[in-house]
Amino acid sequence: MHPKKQLLDDAAKLLLAELEGKELTARERNQIPLQEMATQDPSERILNMNEVALGYTEAQVRIEAMRCLQCKTKPCVKGCPVGIDIPAFILEAEKGNYAKAVSIIKESSLLPSVCGRVCPQELQCQMYCTVGKAKKDVEQSVSIGRIERFVADYTREHGLDEIPHVGDNSGKSVAIVGSGPASISAAADLRREGHRVVLFEALHKAGGVLVYGIPEFRLPKEIVEYELEILRKMGVEIRLNYLVGKTRTVDELFDKDGFDAIFVGSGAGLPRFLDIEGENSIGVFSANEYLTRSNLMKAYAKTNALTPMYRSKRVAVFGAGNVAMDAARTAKRLGAEVVSIIYRRTEAEMPARREEIAHAKEEGIEFLYLLAPKRIIPGEDGRVKEVEVIECKLGPEDEDGRRRSMMIEGTESLRSYDTVIVAIGNDSNPLIKATTDGIETSHKGTFIVDPSTCATSLEGVYAGGDIVLGAATVILAMGQGRKAARAMNEYLATL
Ligand code: FAD
Ligand code: SF4
Ligand code: SF4
């Protein structure tokens, strides 16, 4: 066990010995200290790609679960987009019934090991927790996500997960486009009803952003692979290197291949750029490309990488969301000496999770606030040499309630970089829309669906996840996949 984790475990075991078997009052529960989660030291972790957060030990998870007051009104459940019965699974964790805890979670969420790690809990379930509210500090809330992560890891590592029951062959077949969390959830729920389910993925690896976007140091890929293996064991067929819209159109999946219904979970993988001078220079990447090279093709493995990685010393990252943090922290691990996040607002407006910002800071990422890139200046060899930036100030709120950023003319200056990573957001890929007649989309290119069924304007075609919501979250994508599957199962029963 990692020495830091060992220390926390020793303390938790002592406390557990005191508390175990006692009828704890709410007051006593309130006094139990929040269990810290061990992390790799910053100096150690910037030299590897391994997971930063090391998870709870069994003693810690039981103590943390004891902090839950089992509130009758369950305010935390309101904060979970898929409505997991949080107090019920925490109670089972407190008793050490981890498999039971997981089965409660799985009634609502199929990917607890993933969501326990990457959900923005502090803005969802934990924001509503009575304990955090009483202490006027959301960080003091019961660590719902960490408990969820532990119980799911425990059942996986101890072989306690069961392959979901698959019903008798229904004679119907469903095509699923994409293999991210929306598609994984839809596939499982459709297969359970006995339909033939084929998942088509454009890339050579399944998992969507969970595999190609979120780095190993936040979400180990073996976890995603494990979930995909469960799908395979359920009989879901996964076809890789298959681009729907090119290899086969949506119409052809119906007419030539005989599918009865289609779920589109193609995500939001089209990177946005700033459209500034010099953005075509060598050494400018979208965060998507940069992260895909590193994650999917293991470009960080210097000796046996499947693709070369641009070697950088000074990296500028434009943007301040989770994707920007992931790109910056990846660049640091790939050996960059200076990595700067360049953001035109202040820390208060940054959309990234607080934990990710804190981790990035600990790892030595530089944060340059109230600064916007104006142009990228290449050297004679065409490679990035400098970035011209301009100072900004905050103005009134925009339509999203965030304070507008306004450039201050005459404050331009040059900063020296050899690499630029653009992480200012993603749009949906237009391929399916362009090759399918009759699919209604918004002005942003997202699919318009019936909010209660995820049905698109084309009969038999459903959609969910980022292709509908725009770049959103794993849990929301998963929730939509399940909602669509429910409606699709009803639709298929009518055929
Ligand atoms: P995706 O995960 O995008 O999967 C779509 C899949 O469809 C891809 O594999 C793609 O290759 C495939 N595809 C696309 N078009 C076709 C086609 N025509 N034919 C076949 N296949 C196709 N969310 C969080 O909750 N927490 C986080 O910490 C977090 N961090 C993130 C970090 C990064 C770097 C990124 C990019 C996103 C992050 N997100 C995070 C967002 C989250 O990952 C997404 O909201 C979620 O993955 C969306 O799921 P999805 O199933 O809709 O699509
Ligand atoms: Fe909280 Fe996310 Fe788990 Fe829901 S899925 S309980 S929001 S961590
Ligand atoms: Fe437990 Fe907090 Fe939910 Fe109350 S609000 S049941 S204390 S997790």
For ligand 2, is residue 109 a contact (CB within 6 Å)?
yes
2-6, Cβ contacts within 8 angstroms, sequence gap of 24 or more: 2/38, 2/40, 2/54, 4/38, 4/39, 4/41, 4/54, 5/38, 5/54, 5/55, 5/57
What is the number of the ligand closest to the CA of 129? Answer: 3
Which of residues 157, 184, 218 is at a domain's end? 157
Are residue 103 and residue 180 in the same domain, yes or no? Answer: no
**What pTM did the predictor assign?**
0.94
In the reported structure, the alpha carbon of residue 214 is separated from the centroid of ligand 1 by a whole-number distance in angstroms of 9
Tokens matching residue 381: 């060899």
Residue 243 to residues 248, 287, 291, 404, 434: CA-CA distances in angstroms? 7, 22, 20, 39, 13
Reported as a single tens digit per residue, the pLDDT across 47-105 is 999 999 999 999 999 999 999 999 999 999 999 988 999 999 999 999 999 999 999 99
Reported as a single tens digit per residue, the pLDDT across 13-24 is 999 999 998 999
Tokens matching residue 142: 């019961």
State the Cα–Cα distance between residues 198 and 177, nearest whole angstrom: 9
Integer-rounded Cα radius of gyration of the chain:
24
Per the model's pLDDT, the better-predicted residue between 81 and 244 turns out to be 244
For ligand 2, is residue 147 a contact (CB within 6 Å)?
no
Per-residue pLDDT for 401 more than 90? no
Tokens matching residue 3: 């020495």
For 336, the domain range is 273-424
Which of residues 405, 424, 443 is at a domain's end? 424
Can you give the pLDDT at residue 137?
A: 93
Are residue 191 and residue 258 in the same domain, yes or no? Answer: yes
Nearest CA owner, ligand 1 atom 8: 208
Are residue 435 and residue 395 in the same domain, yes or no? Answer: no
For ligand 1, is residue 269 a contact (CB within 6 Å)?
yes
Can you give the pLDDT at residue 355?
A: 87
In the three-class reduction of DSSP (H, G, I as helix; E, B as strand; rest coil), residue 462 is classed as: strand
Burial annotation 146-166 (CB, 10 A radius, 16+ → b, else e): bbbbbbbbbbbeeeebeeeeb
- Name the residue of 90, 106, 109 whose CB sits within 8 Å of the most ligand 2 atoms, as the mutation to test its pocket: 109
Residue 476 to residues 19, 120, 205: CA-CA distances in angstroms? 37, 11, 22
Q: What is the mean pLDDT of residues 101-115?
A: 93
Per-residue pLDDT for 308 more than 80? no
State the Cα–Cα distance between residues 119 and 141, nearest whole angstrom: 15
Task: Supply the CATH number for residue 351's domain.
Answer: 3.50.50.60
In one-letter notation, the amino acid at residue 455 is A
CA 28 to chain centre: 35
Instruction: Using pLDDT thresholds of 50, 70 and 90, give the confidence band for residue 184.
Output: very high
Q: Is residue 164 part of a domain?
A: no
Q: Is residue 19 part of a domain?
A: yes
Tokens matching residue 372: 């916007």
Residue 144 to residues 120, 126, 154, 472: CA-CA distances in angstroms? 11, 7, 15, 21
In the reported structure, the alpha carbon of residue 473 is separated from the centroid of ligand 2 by a whole-number distance in angstroms of 11
Q: Is residue 413 part of a domain?
A: yes
For ligand 1, is residue 81 a contact (CB within 6 Å)?
no
State the Cα–Cα distance between residues 355 and 359, nearest whole angstrom: 6
Mean pLDDT of the chain: 94
- Rounded to 5°, the CA angle 172-177-178 comes to 135
CA 176 to chain centre: 20
Per-residue pLDDT for 171 more than 90? yes
- Overall domain count for the chain: 3
Per-residue pLDDT for 304 more than 70? no
Among 209, 183, 178, 250, residue whose Cα is nearest residue 433? 250
**Largest Cα–Cα distance of the chain, in whole Å?**
74
Can you give the pLDDT at residue 300?
A: 59
What is the number of the ligand closest to the CA of 203? Answer: 1
Can you give the pLDDT at residue 402?
A: 81
In the reported structure, the alpha carbon of residue 27 is separated from the centroid of ligand 1 by a whole-number distance in angstroms of 43
Are residue 318 and residue 385 in the same domain, yes or no? Answer: yes
- Name the residue of 142, 144, 147, 148 whose CB sits within 8 Å of the most ligand 3 atoms, as the mutation to test its pocket: 142
Are residue 131 and residue 13 in the same domain, yes or no? Answer: yes
State the Cα–Cα distance between residues 342 and 324, nearest whole angstrom: 10
State the Cα–Cα distance between residues 323 and 429, nearest whole angstrom: 18
Can you give the pLDDT at residue 398?
A: 83
Reported as a single tens digit per residue, the pLDDT across 453-480 is 999 999 999 999 999 999 899 999 999 9
Can you give the pLDDT at residue 466?
A: 96
What is the number of the ligand closest to the CA of 76? Answer: 3
Nearest CA owner, ligand 2 atom 6: 80
Q: Is residue 163 part of a domain?
A: no
Instruction: Tell me what percent of the residues of the chain surpass a pLDDT of 90.
Output: 89
Are residue 72 and residue 208 in the same domain, yes or no? Answer: no
Per-residue pLDDT for 350 more than 70? yes
Are residue 233 and residue 313 in the same domain, yes or no? Answer: no
For ligand 1, is residue 213 a contact (CB within 6 Å)?
yes
Q: What is the mean pLDDT of residues 106-124?
A: 92
Per-residue pLDDT for 113 more than 70? yes
In the reported structure, the alpha carbon of residue 125 is separated from the centroid of ligand 3 by a whole-number distance in angstroms of 9
State the Cα–Cα distance between residues 222 and 209, nearest whole angstrom: 14
What is the number of the ligand closest to the CA of 469? Answer: 1
Are residue 254 and residue 296 in the same domain, yes or no? Answer: no
For ligand 2, is residue 125 a contact (CB within 6 Å)?
yes
Place of tokens 């089965």: 103
In the reported structure, the alpha carbon of residue 447 is separated from the centroid of ligand 1 by a whole-number distance in angstroms of 15
Q: What is the mean pLDDT of residues 258-276?
A: 96
For ligand 1, is residue 264 a contact (CB within 6 Å)?
no
Are residue 150 and residue 285 in the same domain, yes or no? Answer: no
Per-residue pLDDT for 295 more than 90? no
Which of residues 400, 424, 448 is at a domain's end? 424
Place of tokens 């459940």: 77
Instruction: Using pLDDT thresholds of 50, 70 and 90, give the confidence band for residue 301.
Output: low
Are residue 218 and residue 282 in the same domain, yes or no? Answer: no
Nearest CA owner, ligand 2 atom 7: 80
Burial annotation 242-259 (CB, 10 A radius, 16+ → b, else e): bbbbeebbbeebbeeeeb
State the Cα–Cα distance between residues 193 and 164, nearest whole angstrom: 11
Per the model's pLDDT, the better-predicted residue between 307 and 291 turns out to be 291
Are residue 304 and residue 279 in the same domain, yes or no? Answer: yes
Q: Which atom number of ligand 1 is nearest to the Cα of residue 268?
A: 3
What is the number of the ligand closest to the CA of 110? Answer: 2
Are residue 129 and residue 72 in the same domain, yes or no? Answer: yes
List all residues whose CB is within 6 A of at least one atom of ligand 3: 68-71, 74-76, 86-87, 129-131, 142, 144
In the reported structure, the alpha carbon of residue 114 is separated from the centroid of ligand 2 by a whole-number distance in angstroms of 10
Task: Supply the CATH number for residue 30's domain.
Answer: 1.10.1060.10
